[in-house]
Structure 1
Amino acid sequence: MKQQHAEVRLGIAAAVVVHEGGVLMVRRRVSEGRLFWQFPAGGVEPGEAREEAAVRETGEEAGLAVEAVRLLGERVHPDTGRLVSYTACEVTGGHAHLADTDELAELAWVAHGAISQYIPYPLFEPVQAHLDVVLER
């Protein structure tokens, strides 16, 4: 029970990675409710900052080196009930690929106009506002 409480308190860190006109999305092998496609994400470890966790998870899941730019916000996700923080990240190296084939089925760089085909419900407002700016340049 302590471990479950710690995960709720530490939460999940999601990386909003934009590169060359698209945002990185991953599809997990096992969905969480309506969550089929999502941003690279995973649990924040004890002693780890949310932004550090977002960077680490992007490397572990997509084999991509990124740098945290800024925390966009956090919320209790309406589908999972988990505390999720969202960090805007920039690519610093590597090539996105399925680095964690146990958890992930595929990944894609999604253009602004196609996001709703991957996530058919409204994004967290600060994330949507960020994507509206950086993908509409």
Structure 2
Amino acid sequence: MTEAMEADKKKSIASAITVHDGRVLLVRRRVKEGSLSWQFPGGEIEEGESANEAAVRETREETGLEVKDVSVLGERVHPNTGRTMIYVACQVVGGTAAVVDDDELAEFAWSDGKALTDYVPYPFYGPVQEYLNDNLSS
């Protein structure tokens, strides 16, 4: 079975790329997915839900932060997890980030561009990296 066929069997994942005051929101999951530890808030897209809606919902459920979707940055099959990922740029509209879903999350962080490789030591998907390059403080 091809990688694309495997990805189609699992629900797609929406990730919220939320930049606020020159820093991006990251979460560290209690259980790693593949080699991933720190990542963007996100989760499976539910039946009848768009990727944009899922990114907003997952951010609220995981961190309590209220965001609105701005645009879809891109979509790919993730090379480490084999899951179809849809990356959604989001803006903060209210609240303060915290670990709300403590069954799933261990902690969260706001990272500027300079510290980002301390959390995620490998390159991001091209369109996500371009967005971060354009929007993060160094």
Shorter-chain TM-score tier: over 0.9
Q: Can you list the C-alpha shifts for 1:17-48, whole angstroms capped at 9, x where unaligned?
A: 00112100000000012100000010000110
Q: Can you list the C-alpha shifts for 1:46-103, whole angstroms capped at 9, x where unaligned?
A: 1100010000000000100000000000100000000000000000000000010000
Contact 2:112/2:137, CA 8 A, preserved across alignment: no
Percentage of identical aligned residues: 54
TM-score between both structures, scaled by the size of structure 2: 0.92
Corresponding residue of 2:3: none
Corresponding residue of 1:99: 100
Q: Within 1, Cα distance between the matches of 2:137 and 2:32?
A: 29
TM-score between both structures, scaled by the size of structure 1: 0.92
Corresponding residue of 1:125: 126
Q: Within 2, Cα distance between the matches of 1:128 and 1:53?
A: 21
* Residue 18, structure 1, aligned to residue 10, structure 2: no
Secondary structure at 1:113's aligned position in 2? coil
Corresponding residue of 1:36: 37
CA RMSD of aligned residues (A): 1.7
Corresponding residue of 1:67: 68
Contact 1:7/1:43, CA 8 A, preserved across alignment: no
Q: 1:48 to 1:115 in 2, by over 3 A?
A: same
What displacement does 1:6 show? 7.1
Task: Give structure 1 stretches of 5+ with no counterpart.
Answer: none
Task: Give structure 2 stretches of 5+ with no counterpart.
Answer: 1-5
Corresponding residue of 1:46: 47
Q: Within 2, Cα distance between the matches of 1:73 and 1:101?
A: 29
What displacement does 1:113 show? 1.1
Secondary structure at 2:27's aligned position in 1? strand
Tell me the number of residue pairs that the alignment of Structure 1 and Structure 2 aligns: 133
Could you list the structure 1 runs, at least 4 aligned residues long, displaced by more than 4 angstroms after superposition.
4-7
Secondary structure at 2:16's aligned position in 1? strand
Contact 2:7/2:82, CA 8 A, preserved across alignment: no
* Residue 86, structure 1, aligned to residue 87, structure 2: yes
Secondary structure at 2:53's aligned position in 1? helix
Secondary structure at 1:112's aligned position in 2? coil
Q: Within 2, Cα distance between the matches of 1:20 and 1:5?
A: 35
